[in-house]
Chains A and B, each alone.
Chain A
Amino acid sequence: AQKITQTQPGMFVQEKEAVTLDCTYDTSDPSYGLFWYKQPSSGEMIFLIYQGSYDQQNATEGRYSLNFQKARKSANLVISASQLGDSAMYFCAMRDGAGNTGKLIFGQGTTLQVKP
């Protein structure tokens, strides 16, 4: 069965420092996609970054990068130069590859707090 695991319930980081949020996944499908979403205290879900299973390079979007280690089945999110506005809950998600349904399976999330 497909599964996403985020083992860090909460993380703290000092403003302007980098932080890594961990995500491991399990799937037997060779074609899959990995996503990170941010959920601030206001509650909306904001898409951050995507990595396809066949992508050769790690995805980057501004201050966000995805450290994709396929053999270890990990897809960690790296946020560089943390800002106070980065304080939020972060979810890792995997697209279910079977049946072309686009369904996402979510991890339990990591709460990040950025200290001034």
Chain B
Amino acid sequence: NAGVTQTPKFRILKIGQSMTLQCTQDMNHNYMYWYRQDPGMGLKLIYYSVGAGITDKGEVPNGYNVSRSTTEDFPLRLELAAPSQTSVYFCASSYWGSGANVLTFGAGSRLTVL
């Protein structure tokens, strides 16, 4: 089992460029999440999805878009990159139905916007 796979691991963008962070999970989890972690800080929720075709905003959605066309994939799109989007991005998934609903995280994607 690969778990939650994120690509790319590192990326440098110029201001105004766009890109997509890919996330896929092979655990048949129904819930998926995107978080960002700024240096020395906790994680903040960008977007989440409770199933294919359903997405909703988290705490810090501005500047991002997501889609969930399949159970496995949950890409995060950055439009018109800004220096404030320099961060480490984590994708996570979980199976809602168990008591704990433990989130399994990907390894993270470090994005720098210059």
Chain A residues near B (Cβ < 8 Å): 4, 33, 35, 37, 43-45, 47, 50, 52, 91, 93, 95, 100-109
Checking B40, B103, B108 against A104 with a beta-carbon cut-off of 8 angstroms, the contacting residue is B103
Sample of 19 more A-B contacts, CB < 8 Å, known A33-B100, A45-B108, A102-B96: A35-B100, A37-B105, A43-B88, A43-B107, A44-B105, A44-B108, A45-B90, A45-B105, A47-B102, A47-B103, A101-B50, A101-B56, A102-B33, A102-B101, A103-B33, A103-B48, A106-B35, A106-B43, A106-B44
CB distance from A106 to the nearest CB of B (A): 4
CB of B2 within 8 A of chain A? no
Q: Which of A33, A35, A43, A44: most chain B Cβ within 10 A?
A: A43
- Residues of chain A contacted by B96 (CB below 8 angstroms): 100, 102
Contact of A91 among B33, B42, B45, B102 (CB under 8 A): B42
Q: Are A102 and B31 in contact (CB under 8 A)?
A: yes
The CA-CA distance from A56 to B80 in the complex, in Å, is 49
What bracket does the count of chain B residues touching chain A fall in?
A: 20 to 34
Query: Would you give 30 A-B contacts (Cβ < 8 Å), ordered by A?
Result: A33-B100, A35-B102, A43-B107, A43-B108, A44-B105, A45-B43, A45-B92, A45-B105, A45-B108, A52-B99, A52-B100, A91-B43, A93-B43, A95-B101, A100-B96, A101-B31, A101-B48, A101-B50, A102-B33, A102-B50, A102-B96, A102-B103, A103-B45, A104-B43, A104-B45, A104-B103, A107-B42, A108-B42, A109-B41, A109-B42
A75 CB, min distance to chain B CBs, angstroms: 14
Instruction: In the A-B complex, list the 7 residue pairs whose CB atoms are closest, starting with the nearest.
Output: A106-B42, A45-B105, A50-B100, A106-B43, A102-B101, A108-B42, A102-B31
Q: Using Cβ atoms and an 8 Å threshold, which residues of chain A touch B43?
A: 45, 91, 93, 104, 106
Bits for B59-94, please: 1 = Cβ < 8 Å to A, else 0: 000000000000000000000000000001010101
Cα distance, A112 to B33, chains bound together (Å): 27
Instruction: Name the residue on B nearest A109 (C-beta).
Output: B42
Please, how many angstroms separate the alpha-carbon atoms of A45 and B99 in the complex? 20
Chain B minimum-CB-distance residue to A96: B45
